[in-house]
Amino acid sequence: MTAVFVAVLGMLGAATVLTVFRLVRGPSTLDRVVALDVYVVLTVVATGVYVAYYRDRSNVSLMAAVALVGFVGSVAVARLAVRRERHR
Amino acid sequence: MSTAAEVGSAVLMLLGALSCLLGAIGLVRLPDLPARLQAATKPQTLGLALVLLGAALRVELVTAATLMLVVLFQVITAPVVSQLVGRAAYRVGAVRGDALVVDELAEHLPHDRETDPAGGAVVDRDQHLSSGSTPQRSTAETHGWDDGGAGAGGRIGRDGTS
């Protein structure tokens, strides 16, 4: 079972590296918004792996909070990005 | 029962992590913003649902219900973020017009732009309220809508890299 968790965390780590690459490289602000949203989802997924491995429920509310903050942040940045591009 | 739950949990979590990885690969490899948006929302939501379902098989019932609540929340909010970012991308001209097969929004937008000068009052109020930046902004918008966003995309690219 530990090998399964190592494989899962390896794939999630590779996905995080690729997402951070897009976050740093992304040509426009909206690309970075998308990459940051994916990064937040990957954080929630990795916390879910923690919950499954240790059978520890103390981080489940953290997952809900992080998902909520990520949603609000993506919506706010998307709206502000289109406003800033318009005023140029 | 316990062994079956463990095996099912392992399979679900592996599939979910694979889906997350494929979504991240698509996020890096795909060429433009709507394609990246497609790769960012759907495989990520599927991966989140599968991994949390696999985690829910290993914990007790209350925690599993909370995990499913997180999945439900993500399923609700991911299309909202996707639609808002896609709308913003179309507004600032980051969507290439020649890459689209059907562009139903463009059929409606020039109609609105034609009726705005005909109305007169809307344009006057707009120029009156925003004093200095109106010609520049309208030029940018016309540029963004008409040539399919190539010039506007270059403008965003310069902004992003600087």
Report whether pLDDT(B10) > 50.
yes
* Co-location of B23 and B41 in the same domain: yes
B91 and A85 in contact by Cβ < 8 A? Answer: yes
Instruction: Give the tens place of pLDDT for each residue, B64-105.
Output: 999 999 999 999 999 999 999 888 888 777 777 777 777 777
> Which one of A85, A86, A88 would you mutate to disrupt binding with B, by most B Cβ within 10 Å of its Cβ?
A85
Which residues from chain B sit within 8 angstroms of residue A4, using beta carbons?
10, 13-14
Write out chain B residues lying below 8 Å of A14, CB-based: 21, 24
Domain total for chain B? 2
- Considering only alpha carbons, which residue of chain B is nearest residue A2? B10
- B75 and B151 together in one domain: no
More confidently predicted of A73 and B119: A73
In the predicted model, is pLDDT for residue B156 greater than 60?
no
Count CB neighbours of A12 within 10 A: 24
pTM of the entire structure? 0.75
CB B93 within 8 A of CB B153: yes
Give me the domain span that covers residue A14.
Answer: 2-86
* In-domain check, residue B97: no
Same-domain pairing of B79 and B110? no
Residue B32, domain extent? 2-92
Report the pLDDT value the prediction gives residue A81, as an integer from 0 to 100. 79
Are residues B58 and A52, on separate chains, in Cβ contact within 8 Å? yes
Quick one: residue B46, left, alpha or beta (phi over 0 = left, psi -120 to 50 = alpha)? alpha
Shared domain check, B8 and B74: yes
Q: Could you tell me the CA-to-CA distances from A68 to A14, A20, B153 in Å, in that order?
A: 24, 21, 31
Say if residue B73 is in the same domain as residue B48. yes
Is the pLDDT at B126 greater than 70? The verdict is no
Locate all alpha helices (DSSP H) within chain B, ordered by sequence: 2-29, 33-56, 61-92, 104-119, 121-129, 134-146, 150-161
Number of folded domains that form chain A = 1
B143 & B81 share domain: no
